[in-house]
Amino acid sequence: MLSSLNPSAQQFLNNLNTVMDLMARAQQEVSSGLKVSQVSDAPDSISLLLQTHANLSSTGQTLANLGRVKTEVDSGEKALEGAVSLLEQARTLGAQGATGTQTAAQRTAIAQQLDNILQQMVALAGTNVEGRYIFSGDSDQQVPYTYNAALVNPVSAYLGSASTRLVQHPNGTTFSVALTAQQIFDSATPAGNVFAAIENLSAALKANNDPAIQAAMGAMPAVDDYLNGQLASYGVIQNKVADATSFGQTLQLRLQTELSGLQDADPTQAILQMTQAQTQEQAALQSEARLPRTTLFDYLG
Amino acid sequence: MLARIQSIRRRLDALRIALLSPSSEEIVNCLPALEEAVPSCHQLELELPDDSDPLARLEIRIALHALQSDLQIAGRLIEHGAALHQGWAMLLAAAVGGYVATGAPAPLTAGGTVSLEG
Amino acid sequence: MGNLFSALLNSANALQVYGRVFSTIQNNVTNASTPGYVKQDQSLVAMPFNPAVGLGGGVQAGPLLSMRSEYLEQAVRNQQQLLGSAQQKTADLAQVQPLFDTSGNSGIPNALNEFFNNFSQLSVSPSSQVSRQNVIDAAGQVAQAFNQNAAGIMLVSANVVNQTREAVTTVNQLASQLAEINQHFRANSASTQDAGLDARLHAVLENLSQVANYSLIRSQDGTYSVYLGGQTPLVVGDRSFPITADFSTPQTIIRNAQGNDITAQLDNTGGSLGALIEENNTTLPGYKTTLDTLAKNFADTVNTTLSQGVDNSGNPPAVNLFTYNAVAGAAYTLAVTNITPNDIAAALPGAPGGNGNAIAMAQLANAPAAGGFTVTQAYGNLGGQVGRDLANAQQDKTVQQNLVTQAQQLRATSTGVSLDEEAAKLLQFQQAYQAVGKLVGVLDGLTQTVINMVK
């Protein structure tokens, strides 16, 4: 409804409201550090602003994922180092048992040590990180192998599944990070079957069979090379994870800079605007107060 | 650059206040300041910051939007003020000389002529 | 002797006339700040003076002149209409703005980020029941965020409806006041010269202009008729024809006194009522439709992508993740089904236990949806639209405030009361009054002398 203020007074109030809005805005900028805090501040930038927030959030999640994957990959690499060491021990024991001076009883004792090494190898295949069997492929809740000394073939068939899981790269692609225990220890080719190599050597020593012992020992170098190759593969995977993490961290920094450019207030400017608005408010009030209010009626007797 | 934009805005605000009053004197008084603002506006084009300072670009973008708003207000006040006075002039002219068939005020004619012979 | 009496009478008459001038000045000063009041001037007319033929001269009160200019009044009303509209839009859109967060830390954007991030996390441990439950919980948060956003728009719409009812009431009240004023004009033609009634009339008209767009016609008898939207009679003579607001449908319908739909004459044509109609019939439904489309597309895309995978048992999922009612509004009704963690299809067919589908779900965050925008960008476009509409309304309001002031200043300069001017007139007539008073005293003394002479 109409007010009884004259146009000048109404305009003064309008101007004062404008200055006070500016002051409130500037104070809000100083306290929040944001130039754009509501959609009407920069309507054309809102879509880009929200998408940049989203990209930053997803990059953060991808980096967290990579951190978790790194733990698994590092554990896998360590397990394989252990496996290589065990295989070295098996070769040494085998060489010892292969000499002509060993008796049948001594060879049996060596074979029992080899069985012990085999059992440890099976345990390494079942490495578990945070409740997941990392060499069981997609079936990470299932142990890949069991060991039963009472059986002729103490190592069970592979109980896991193929490894199809991929990991997200911050650039939007995916890459593979896991090998299965079957690929590492139980390959279909004899030169890649660590379990079979140790089992065969143990059986040959127990049978006190010289040709079989020589044949088993003859297969060892190829298996050793194969296992070291698997270890090297994990080194490559570790590098991939490290590179992806580094990429993600750089991307994160770039996104934060972009976000800052889209919404952050320049602190110096914000304080300057607040000070200017306060000055304008005081000047407007003082100026209005100084306006002459007297009319001729004030001078009539 | 921000300081330049603020300076132009101050001049525009003085013009806005002058345009609120019916007096043409106040508007004429604003003209020199506005004439100074024109080269300032040209200079703005030449001083756009480079990409290395995103904070500065955001501040300047927002300041330019505010300048655009001020220009719009001043422009509308000029149009509206001109239309008001033009309409009033037509009414006053019609009050003196009446209307023609098209509805426009009749042209004012002199009541007589004065001849001087020297 | 006759001349003395004549002079005495003329002097006494002059005092009465000056008394009317003082009354006019007093009325001007008293009403200097009254809305709608314009300066009144008591005109004076010199009486014929020719003593040779007995014309004694003197002064007579002429008509009371009003300084009102209908041209300037209409100029002010035109701008008040646009200001009323801009003020209404600014106030209402300011209620919609907080529903769209720009920080990315709350509302739909944050819920979407968490949703996609939880699928990304699931891809690292697809058999984890905790991760699967987290996905379902995050989906619930998305649904709730859409519900709240839609409910927020509906709440603003409800406020707009209430304000529309108030605006219609205001229009009818002002129409009644105008009809009553017209009654006075019809009952007594002299009341058209009544400055107080004239002030009331023009205050009513200016108030009405803030609320609705109308045309004004003055009749021979001095009454004013008002036609809403230039067509619908609201006041004709001493009768008013109230309008009503009909909300039996989701759209606002304004009906005239005969019950006919006159909404189109008022929609976005000026005044707060025009703005309210546009908001309820176009602006807010536009936002709601866009949000519903966004919710529907999002839910459909998620459900479709999940249906292409296999659940924890290696089977295609038997139940969707999201459900909605398109008729009641997808955003308002979006909800998570009774899906269980094992139903989440994180793997691809042929690789049960894998994470292919979990990764596909996580990558939906950057997948172009309708219009080539991601779901977050599409939501941002809607927020930007709201921001743009509000910024434009705020700018219009500022422009109109200035234009109203400009028109009012011009009107005040030409027709408003200047206290200095009234004080100057008062001094002038005070001196004249004193002079006439002295003259009356002298004439009275002379008259008494003459009377004594003839005794």
Task: Give the DSSP per-residue string, A262-295.
Answer: HHB--HHHHHHHHHHHHHHHHHHHHHHHHS----
Rounded Cα gap, residues C64 and C320, in angstroms: 82
Q: Which residue out of C28, C102, C131, C419 would a mutagenesis test of the A interface target, given it has the greatest number of A Cβ atoms within 10 Å? A: C102
Residue A296 has what pLDDT? 65
A55 vs C contacts (CB less than 8 Å): 366
Top-confidence range, A28-32, B80-84, C306-310: C306-310
Letter string b/e over residues C66-95, b meaning 16 or more CB atoms within 10 A of that residue's CB: bebbeebbebbbbbbbbbbbbbbbbebbee
Count of residues in chain C: 455
pLDDT computed for residue C36 by the predictor: 83
In this model, does residue C10 exceed pLDDT 80? no
Tokens of A122: 């099976």
d(CA A28, CA A17): 16
Q: Is pLDDT above 70 for B108?
A: no
pLDDT of amino acid A298? 65
Q: Which residue has the higher pLDDT, C249 or C8?
A: C249
* Cβ within 8 Å of A, B 59-118: 59, 61-62
Report which listed range, A88-92, B108-112, C17-21, C60-64, is most confident: A88-92
Full-model pTM: 0.86
Nearest by CB to B88, from C71, C403, C406: name it: C71
> Phi and psi at residue C261, in whole multiples of 5°?
-80, 120
- Say what the pLDDT of residue A297 is: 64
The predicted pLDDT at position B22 comes to 65
Whether B59 sits inside 8 A of A11 (CB atoms) is: no
Q: Is A296 or C369 the better-scoring residue by pLDDT? A: C369
Return the minimum-mean-pLDDT range out of A175-179, B26-30, C321-325, C419-423: B26-30
Which of C57 and C72 is assigned the larger pLDDT? C72
Most confidently modeled range among B69-83, B94-108, C372-386? C372-386
Determine the length of chain A.
301
Is the pLDDT reported for residue C384 higher than 80?
A: yes
Number of residues assigned to chain B: 118
Query: B-chain residues within 8 Å CB-CB of C410?
Result: 22, 84
User: For C206-215, what is the mean pLDDT?
Assistant: 95
C372 vs C172, which has greater pLDDT?
Answer: C172
Closest Cα in chain B to C394: B69
Contact C387, A46 (CB under 8 A): yes
Per DSSP, the residues of A245-263 read: HHHHHHHHHHHHHHHHHHH
Long-range contacts of A149-152 (CB under 8 A, 24+ apart): A149/A115, A149/A119
CB contact under 8 A, B20 and C402: yes
- The pLDDT, as a whole number, for residue B51 is 54
Scanning C363-382 for CB atoms below 8 A from A yields 363, 365-366, 373-374, 376-381
Weakest mean pLDDT among A125-139, B48-62, C364-378:
B48-62
Which residue in the block uniquely carries the two structure tokens 């001017």? C421
Within an 8 Å CB–CB cutoff, is residue A13 touching chain C?
Answer: no
Reduced to 3 states (helix: H, G, I; strand: E, B; else coil), residue C37 is coil
Q: Chain B: residue nearest A264 by CA?
A: B55
Task: Spell out which residues of chain C touch residue B91, defining contact as CB-CB under 8 Å.
Answer: 71
Dist. CA A199–CA A190, nearest whole Å? 12
Q: State how far Cα C105 lies from the chain centre.
A: 34
pLDDT the model gives residue C38: 85
The rounded distance, in Å, linking the Cα atoms of A151 and A147 is: 9
User: Residue C322 — φ and ψ, nearest 5°?
Assistant: -115, 155
pLDDT digit string (tens) for C66-123?
888 889 999 999 999 999 999 999 999 999 999 999 988 899 999 999 999 999 999 9
Of B20, B57, B62, the CB nearest to A261: B57
Instruction: Determine whether C32 is exposed, middle or buried from the number of CB atoms within 10 Å of its CB (0-12, 13-18, 19+).
Output: middle
- Taking 50 as the pLDDT cut, the residues of chain A under it are none
CB contact under 8 A, C121 and A65: yes
> Residue A213 is encoded by which pair of tokens?
């012992």
Cα torsion B27, B33, B38, B44: sign: negative
| A264 neighbors B55 (Cβ within 8 angstroms) | yes
User: ipTM higher than 0.90?
Assistant: no
Chosen for mutation from B9, B16, B58, B73 (greatest number of chain A CBs closer than 10 Å) is B58
Spatial separation of the C-alpha atoms in residues A179 and A32, rounded to whole Å? 49
CB C75 within 8 A of CB B84: yes
What is the rounded CA–CA span in Å between residue C300 and residue C337? 13
Q: What is the pLDDT of residue C37?
A: 84
**Between residues B25 and C355, the one the model is more confident about:** C355
The mean per-residue pLDDT over the stretch B86-109 comes to: 78
Q: Who wins on pLDDT, A60 or C19?
A: A60
Q: Looking at beta carbons, which residues of chain A come within 8 Å of C120?
A: 58, 61-62, 65, 168
Residue contact A58–C113, C-beta within 8 A: yes
| Sole residue written with tokens 């005495």 | C8
How many Å lie between the alpha carbon of A159 and the closest alpha carbon of chain C?
A: 14
Q: Which of B20, B59, B61 sits opposite A266 (nearest CB)?
A: B59
Contact of A161 with A135, CB cutoff 8 Å: no
Chains in contact with A, counting 3 or more C-beta pairs less than 8 Å apart as contact: B, C
C1 or B91, which is more confident: B91
With CA atoms as reference, report the closest residue to C324 among C344, C302, C343. C302
Question: What is chain B's mean pLDDT, rounded?
Answer: 77
Identify the closest residue of chain B to A40 by CA–CA distance: B62
Q: Is A264 on the interface with B (CB under 8 A)?
A: yes
CA distances from C266 to C33, C75, C273, C277 (A): 32, 20, 7, 8
Q: Does A31 touch chain C (CB under 8 A)?
A: no
